[in-house]
């Protein structure tokens, strides 16, 4: 795998208010290898996504998208590299003041390379892909939680990225909603998109990823496949996979 | 209070000040660069300008009336009530018009800017825009600043005009005729006063917009954080308006000689 086909974190440390979130953290997302980051709440999973996107500046270490190191660079320099990545935020992060159609076509409108007709065609195609074409002219406030997530996926797809990050995509959804999101992720992977997800939801993680990273106390304590994870003797990993009554109250 | 606490407070203060100036400098550098977001500018001008027109005019009307009333009471023993128009004009156009209109806009619009941007931050909409390749300063800050720089002087001019009308209504109740009222105005005012009356709200508009945007974009901590930010923006903007009113007046006085 060449460097241009991966997103990497090298020796990265990040802390907030003196609390270490990540310490000497190495991570690599290779194109074509779908990955999930697991860990308890507050372990720093979402922070990893934001650091990989250059939304947060690390205290030390660096982040590289392809061959370009983005750490310490102004956004205008690495925005082209970042266009290879899209993210589906936990709450969808749809723009309140815009309709669903405007949300999905946002990046295309901003780039200004396509005509309005072409953009509308793409928007309809993406909304149809996620199954919410009827919501084209609705505002985010008029959508259910599941619809918001699907519209957020459509927005992520609109610019045809290589990598798609998912931040807790199934949180707060009913089982049918979870199934739909899983199904969408699998269809995206079948189309050649590489996904990186952070979640607590083991069923979704095992259904959509080949490799898993487990975070504990600012460090990566496990990296491997599902089988390796289940066979792992690391107590924190086992506790996460099979929480006992005792572990719930620790 | 020990020295460490004072040290921390000072560090935080200077960090905030640095952040404010950095945002202001970045906005100035990008405000004339493409894309201009005309639609966003029009939306903001409507929100910041037209929506505040009524409240600014109401403030101007009653302040003009009360200024005239006070002037009439004070001038009557000296048989100088014919100067009431001039006194209302000079007080309103040079001082109270710009300050009161700006305070009204800071309370109404400054808080709204902060709450809107703060909500966008805590719901990750700002992060989403950045990932989509948008320059946040050009998209969110510059249109608000431009709208405010255009709207606030116009609102102040409207408030000034209505305050003169309010003063006239009051004066006419005391038997001052319109000609006498209007003749008093140029006796007290020169053209430079009008310029000062428009430069001040332009500068205050800059303070309100930049403070609202800066505090909004640095909001942390969910709904409570948004509430705190809105409150902070109004307080800081209002204090800055009153402080800089003094400094600007001092500068005008010095230049006038």
Cβ neighbours, 10 Å, residue B46: 12
What lies within 8 Å, CB to CB, of B28 at 6+ separation is none
Chain B residues within 8 A of A107 when measuring between CB atoms: 132-133
Look at residue B178 in the predicted model and tell me its pLDDT.
86
Look at residue B97 in the predicted model and tell me its pLDDT.
95
Look at residue B204 in the predicted model and tell me its pLDDT.
97
Look at residue B136 in the predicted model and tell me its pLDDT.
93
| Helix or strand holding residue A14 (H, E) | strand A6-16
User: What's B50's DSSP letter?
Assistant: I
CB B162 within 8 A of CB B60: yes
**High-pLDDT (> 70) share of chain B, %:** 99
What lies within 8 Å, CB to CB, of B191 at 6+ separation is none
Average pLDDT value for residue range B13-32: 93
Residue among A93, A112, A149, A196 with most chain B CBs within 10 A, to mutate? A93
pLDDT of A248 > 80? The answer is no
CB B118 within 8 A of CB B225: yes
B131–A contact, CB cutoff 8 A: yes
- A23 phi and psi angles, rounded to 5 deg: -135, 125
- pLDDT class of B130 with cuts at 50, 70, 90: very high
| Count of helix runs (H) and strand runs (E) in chain B | 12, 0
Look at residue A245 in the predicted model and tell me its pLDDT.
63
Number of domains in chain B: 1
Average pLDDT value for residue range A150-173: 90
Nearest CA-CA partner of A93 in B218, B134, B127? B127
User: What's B139's DSSP letter?
Assistant: I
Look at residue A76 in the predicted model and tell me its pLDDT.
79
Tell me the sheet residues that pair with A87: A165
CB B79 within 8 A of CB B176: no
pLDDT of A2 > 60? The answer is no
Tell me the CB-side half-sphere exposure of residue B24, using CA atoms within 13 A. 15
Cα–Cα distance, B200 to B196 (Å, whole number): 6
Look at residue B118 in the predicted model and tell me its pLDDT.
97
Cα–Cα distance, A104 to A155 (Å, whole number): 4
Cα–Cα distance, A2 to B3 (Å, whole number): 54
Look at residue A213 in the predicted model and tell me its pLDDT.
93
Residue extents of the structural domains in chain A? 3-84+162-248, 92-160
A111–B contact, CB cutoff 8 A: yes
Instruction: Decide if B127 and A96 are in contact by the 8 Å CB cutoff.
Output: no
Instruction: Decide if B133 and A94 are in contact by the 8 Å CB cutoff.
Output: no
Average pLDDT value for residue range B161-171: 94
Q: Where do runs of H (alpha helix) occur along chain A?
A: 45-52, 75-82, 100-104, 106-111, 116-130, 145-158, 175-190, 202-208, 226-231, 235-241, 245-248
Average pLDDT value for residue range A98-127: 93
Q: Where do runs of H (alpha helix) occur along B137-221?
A: 142-173, 178-188, 191-217
Average pLDDT value for residue range A153-160: 90
CB A241 within 8 A of CB A230: yes
Chain B residues within 8 A of A159 when measuring between CB atoms: 132
Shortest distance, CA A216 to any CA of chain B (angstroms): 24
- pLDDT class of B168 with cuts at 50, 70, 90: very high
CB A80 within 8 A of CB A126: no
Look at residue A5 in the predicted model and tell me its pLDDT.
85
Q: What is the pLDDT of residues A15-44, one digit of tens each?
A: 988 888 898 889 999 999 999 999 888 888
Burial class of B4 by CB neighbour count within 10 A (0 to 12, 13 to 18, 19+): exposed
Look at residue A209 in the predicted model and tell me its pLDDT.
94
Q: What is the pLDDT of residues A52-107, one digit of tens each?
A: 999 999 999 999 998 889 998 888 788 888 888 999 999 899 999 999 999 999 99
pLDDT of B124 > 80? The answer is yes
Cα–Cα distance, B187 to B75 (Å, whole number): 16
CATH class of A3-84+162-248: alpha beta
Residue among A74, A89, A148 with most chain B CBs within 10 A, to mutate? A89
Average pLDDT value for residue range B74-103: 91
- pLDDT class of A247 with cuts at 50, 70, 90: low
Nearest to A53 among B123, B131, B135 (CB): B131
- According to DSSP, the β-strands at A211-216 and A35-38 are parallel
Q: What mean pLDDT value characterizes chain A?
A: 89
Chain A residues within 8 A of B124 when measuring between CB atoms: 89-91, 93
- pLDDT class of B35 with cuts at 50, 70, 90: confident
């Amino acid at each position: 795998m060449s460097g241009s086909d991966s997103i990497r974190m090298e020796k990265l440390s990040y802390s907030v208010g003196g609390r270490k979130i990540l310490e000497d953290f190495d991570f690599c997302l290779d194109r074509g290898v779908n990955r999930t980051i697991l860990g308890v709440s507050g372990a720093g999973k979402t922070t990893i996504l934001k650091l990989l996107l250059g939304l947060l500046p690390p205290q030390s270490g660096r982040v590289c998208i392809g061959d370009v190191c983005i750490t310490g660079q102004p956004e205008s320099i690495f925005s082209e590299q970042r266009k290879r990545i899209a993210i589906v935020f936990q709450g969808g992060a749809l723009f309140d003041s815009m309709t669903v159609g405007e949300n999905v076509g946002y990046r295309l409108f901003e780039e200004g390379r396509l005509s309005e007709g072409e953009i509308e065609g793409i928007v309809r195609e993406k909304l149809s892909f996620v199954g919410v074409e009827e919501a084209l002219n609705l505002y985010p406030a008029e959508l259910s939680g599941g619809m918001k997530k699907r519209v957020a996926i459509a927005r992520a797809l609109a610019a045809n990225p290589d990598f798609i990050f998912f931040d807790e995509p199934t949180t707060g959804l009913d089982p049918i909603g979870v199934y739909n999101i899983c199904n969408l992720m699998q269809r995206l992977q079948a189309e050649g998109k590489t996904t990186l997800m952070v979640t607590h939801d083991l069923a979704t993680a095992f259904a959509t990823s080949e490799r898993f990273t487990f975070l504990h106390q600012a460090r990566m304590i496990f990296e491997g496949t599902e089988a390796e994870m289940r066979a792992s003797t690391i107590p924190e990993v086992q506790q996460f996979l099979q929480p006992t009554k005792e572990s719930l109250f620790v | 209070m020990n020295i460490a606490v004072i040290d921390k407070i000072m560090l935080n203060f200077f960090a905030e000040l640095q952040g404010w100036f950095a945002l202001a400098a970045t906005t100035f550098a990008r405000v004339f660069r493409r894309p201009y977001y005309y639609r966003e500018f029009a939306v903001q001008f409507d929100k910041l300008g037209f929506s505040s027109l009524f409240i600014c005019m109401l403030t101007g009307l009653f302040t003009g009336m009360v200024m005239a009333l006070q002037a009439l009471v004070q001038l009557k023993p000296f048989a100088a009530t014919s100067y009431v128009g001039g006194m209302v004009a000079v007080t309103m156009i040079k001082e109270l018009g710009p300050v009161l209109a700006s305070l009204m806009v800071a309370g109404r619009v400054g808080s709204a800017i902060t709450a809107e941007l703060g909500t966008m931050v805590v719901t990750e909409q700002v992060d989403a825009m950045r990932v989509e390749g948008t320059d946040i300063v050009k998209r969110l800050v510059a249109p608000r600043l431009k709208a405010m720089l255009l709207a606030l002087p116009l609102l102040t001019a409207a408030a000034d005009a209505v305050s003169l009308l309010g003063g006239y209504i009051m004066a006419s109740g005391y038997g001052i005729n319109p000609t006498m009222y209007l003749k008093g105005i140029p006796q007290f005012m020169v053209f430079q006063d009008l310029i000062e009356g428009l430069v001040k709200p332009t500068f205050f508009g800059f303070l309100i917009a930049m403070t609202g945007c800066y505090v909004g974009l640095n909001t942390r901590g969910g709904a409570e954080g948004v509430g705190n930010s809105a409150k902070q923006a109004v307080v800081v903007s209002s204090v800055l308006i009153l402080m800089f009113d003094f400094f600007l007046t001092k500068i005008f006085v010095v230049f006038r000689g």
